Structure 1
Amino acid sequence: MTAHDDAAVLIRRLQECFNTRQFDRAADLHTPDFFSHPLGTAGFDAGKAAWHALTARFPDMRVVAEDIVVEGDRAAVRSTVEGVAAPGGARPELVEIFRFEDGRFAEMWGAASGFPAANSPEDLVA
């Protein structure tokens, strides 16, 4: 398997954990000192709490990777978001960059667009 294939499989596994609400399984996909730049925290527990808050707001929310670009130990992912009523009917999107270490997520940066006002994933960090 190539590095691209490994990264794509890991990203799709993470999205499957989110989409099936099996948040505890996602913890094994992250290094112990995983760092989420949007949340400003280390460890997966804050991310898991953010996932719970996000799915409480949007119970039908699902993410689908549309593009995965891998270079070295990083991958950029553009995902569409289903199950969220967006203004003007546009489908919300997420753009995330992951850094991998030993076959697991070590760091994440992200941005969202197209979410209803005051309901963006970035609001979870406020």
Structure 2
Amino acid sequence: MTTREDARALVQRMQECFNTRQFDQAADLFTPAYFSHPLGTTGFEAGKDVWRQVTTQFPDMRVVAEDILVDGDRVAIRSTVEGIAAPGGDARPTLIEIFRIDDGRLAEMWGITEGPDPRLG
């Protein structure tokens, strides 16, 4: 069973891997059968490809966790996105992601983006 502290550290490590562009090191944080509902894909490779695409388009992009809530095997994160030009103003995108954890690794993800979506820039 994953503790609250372990769950919190797991998602913070995932964001650290994204922010430092250590994408290959992030692979160990995900189960082999990890499922991304937004992408409709199994495995972390598709997510890693999206990370590479978005950071190529926005090289200064970073995600910053504002809230991390843990309930059993679920972790919800509200993050702001920094380092991208917001069209027409100062509004930054907000990511809401919910992860299911299995045996200390990220197993499943649901997510939405509020505000300008950096993938559509």
Task: Please name the residue that 2:8 is paired with.
Answer: 8
- Report the number of matched residues: 118
| Structure 2 unaligned spans of 5+ | none
* Relative contact order higher in (CA < 8 Å, ≥ 6 apart): 2
Deviation at 1:114, TM superposition (A): 1.8
Note if 1:106 corresponds to 2:94.
no
TM-score by length of structure 1 reads 0.89
Q: Structure 1 unaligned runs (5+)?
A: none
Partner of 2:48: 48
Corresponding residue SS for 2:111: strand
TM value normalised by structure 2: 0.93
Q: Take 1:89 and 1:30, find their aligned partners in 2: how far apart are those partners? A: 33
| Two-structure CA RMSD over aligned residues (Å) | 1.3
Q: Partners in 1 of 2:59 and 2:76 — Cα distance?
A: 26
Letter in 1 for 2:90: G
Describe the superposition over 1:12-55 as per-residue Cα deviations: whole angstroms up to 9, x where unpaired. Answer: 10000000000000000000000000000000000000000111
SS in 1 for 2:39: coil
Residues of 2 paired with 1:82 and 1:30: CA distance?
24
The residue type paired with residue 52 of structure 1 is R
Deviations 1:57-101 (A, max 9, x none): 111000011101110100110001110111320121100000000
- Which secondary structure does the structure 2 equivalent of 1:90 belong to? coil
